[in-house]
């Protein structure tokens, strides 16, 4: 029997639908296998362990020195990027450019950044992120730093979101308030801003045009800038983010992780701002809080979540699935392997951790993965 044109078209459509259903099913099974492997790792009771590497990076040329190292990030080449504050370098050292790229061995690749034409460089650099296109994002938390910059790998200016010296509170859709950190979602090409030291929200823009998309506060609610009073460790769940909203990362499965530093917690959301869960880090910590930065383990399931705590000077290892703390390491001090104002972290494809220190620390350190 021969099919007419209409019948053939219907057959092709049914075939394509069957292929799509088959692919969706295969992807679902694949994701299930990944999740099961992650669960098995956790159930085994083993925890990722790390060993301090030799001093990292190698000495800088030109008598350059680090100021406070406010951010550290990883790119697609496993190159490590730092942003530091040149004006806070130690006496007798020359000012290195604020953005520096290294390879995993600690070799200097390039350095650039600072004031230029067509954009407003921050007064106090804070946070760095390298996106899926190897573009570099930098924020600031100094006086009047209400902007985020997007630059190419060689430092060419591409985009500015916000305007220096102008802010409009946590529900303004164009202006920022001392943005602490950014992360770019490669699937949707959107940039999420932890906004931050001046505001109490996460806000999302188109990563190419800077067009506003959405924003939210704690638990996905509308942010409120009214005075919350002092942090109460007995509060089961503060209703608003507490300044600073210090970190943002997006997992492979599209969840948004926010480091609510002043409230000692990590909150997790769907991309649209729907609240998913939260977990506390050293909940009784007062002062500057305990949830400073977050990053995922490099396995496909991103089984573990790592948190830097610059108040208690520790790195915590959590299960990403339920935000339970499995282990922690670190202590207060200026010796190698200790932490002095632990701030940010990045993790390479081999699982090695790179950390940055601000205030009197003014350095980076590398810890090599020893497996589970």
pLDDT for position 365: 98
Higher pLDDT, 109 or 33: 109
How far does CA 23 lie from the centroid of its chain? Answer: 31
Residue 46's pLDDT band (cuts 50, 70, 90): confident
The predicted-structure confidence for 123-181, as pLDDT tens digits, reads as follows 999 999 999 999 999 999 999 999 999 999 999 999 999 999 999 999 999 999 999 99
pLDDT in tens, 178-215: 999 999 999 999 999 999 899 999 999 999 999 999 99
| Single pTM value for the model | 0.90
- Mean pLDDT calculated for residue range 272-290: 97
Note the Cα 69 to chain centre separation in Å. Answer: 15
266 has pLDDT over 90 = yes
Local confidence band at 2 (pLDDT 50, 70, 90 cut-offs): low
**Cβ atoms 138, 148 nearer than 8 A:** yes
CB atoms within 10 A of CB 337: 14
CB atoms within 10 A of CB 91: 5
Q: H-type helices in the chain, by residue range?
A: 5-43
Per-residue confidence (pLDDT) for residue 11, from 0 to 100: 67
How confident is the prediction for the chain on average, in pLDDT?
A: 93
| In the chain, where the domains are located | 1-44, 50-369
Span 88-99, pLDDT tens digits: 999 999 999 999
Q: What is the 3-state secondary structure (H, E, C) of 201-238?
A: EEEEEECCCCCEEEEECHHHCCCCCCCCCCCCCCCCCC
Take residue 74 and report the two structure tokens written for it: 């990883």
Entry field: residues in the chain: 372
Helix, coil or strand: residue 261? helix
Please, what sign has the CA dihedral across residues 325, 327, 331, 337?
negative
What 3 state SS string does 267-279 have?
EEECCCCCEEEEE
- What is the pLDDT averaged over residues 229-255? 96
Give the CA distances from residue 105 to residues 89, 131, 269, 355, in Å, rounded to whole numbers and listed in that order. 23, 22, 36, 15
Give first-to-last CA distance, the chain, whole Å.
63
Per the CB < 8 A criterion, the answer to whether 3 and 14 are in contact is no
The DSSP bridge pattern shows strands 64-65 and 94-95 to be: parallel
Q: Write down the pLDDT at residue 217.
A: 98
3-state SS class at 75: coil
CATH classification of 50-369 is 1.10.630.10, yes or no? no
DSSP 56: S
- The residues facing 307 across adjacent strands are 294, 316
């Amino acid at each position: 029997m021969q099919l007419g044109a209409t019948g053939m078209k219907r057959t092709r459509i049914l075939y394509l639908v069957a292929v799509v259903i088959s692919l969706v099913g295969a992807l679902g099974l694949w994701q299930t296998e990944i999740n099961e492997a992650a669960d098995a790792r956790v159930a085994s009771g083993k925890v990722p362990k790390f060993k301090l590497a030799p001093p990292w990076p190698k000495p800088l040329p030109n008598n350059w020195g680090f100021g406070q190292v406010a951010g550290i990030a990883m790119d697609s080449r496993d190159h490590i990027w730092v942003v530091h504050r040149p004006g806070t370098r130690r006496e007798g050292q020359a000012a290195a450019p604020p953005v520096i790229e290294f390879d995993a061995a600690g070799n200097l690749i390039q350095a650039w950044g600072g004031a230029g034409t067509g954009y407003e460089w921050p007064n106090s650099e804070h946070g760095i992120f390298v996106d899926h296109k190897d573009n570099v994002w930098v924020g600031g938390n100094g006086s009047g730093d209400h902007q985020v910059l997007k630059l190419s790998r060689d430092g060419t200016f591409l985009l500015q979101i916000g305007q220096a010296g102008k802010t409009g509170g946590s529900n303004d859709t164009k202006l920022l308030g001392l943005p602490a950190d950014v992360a770019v979602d490669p699937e949707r090409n959107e940039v999420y801003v932890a906004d931050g030291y001046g505001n109490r929200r996460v806000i999302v823009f188109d990563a190419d045009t800077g067009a506003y998309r959405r924003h939210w506060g704690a638990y996905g609610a509308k942010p409120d800038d009214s005075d919350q009073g002092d942090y109460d460790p007995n509060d089961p769940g503060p209703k608003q983010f507490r300044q600073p909203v210090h970190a943002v990362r997006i997992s492979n499965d599209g969840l948004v992780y926010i480091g609510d530093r002043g409230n000692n917690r990590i909150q997790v959301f769907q991309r649209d701002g729907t609240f998913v869960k939260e977990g506390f880090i050293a909940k009784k910590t007062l002062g500057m809080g305990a949830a400073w930065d977050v990053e995922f383990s490099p396995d496909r399931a991103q089984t573990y979540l790592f948190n830097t705590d610059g108040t208690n000077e520790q790195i915590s290892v959590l299960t990403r699935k339920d935000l339970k703390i499995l282990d922690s390491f670190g202590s207060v001090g200026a010796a190698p392997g200790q932490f002095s104002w632990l701030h940010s972290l990045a993790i390479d494809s081999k699982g090695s951790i790179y950390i940055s220190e601000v205030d009197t620390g003014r350095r980076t350190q590398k810890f090599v993965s020893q497996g589970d």
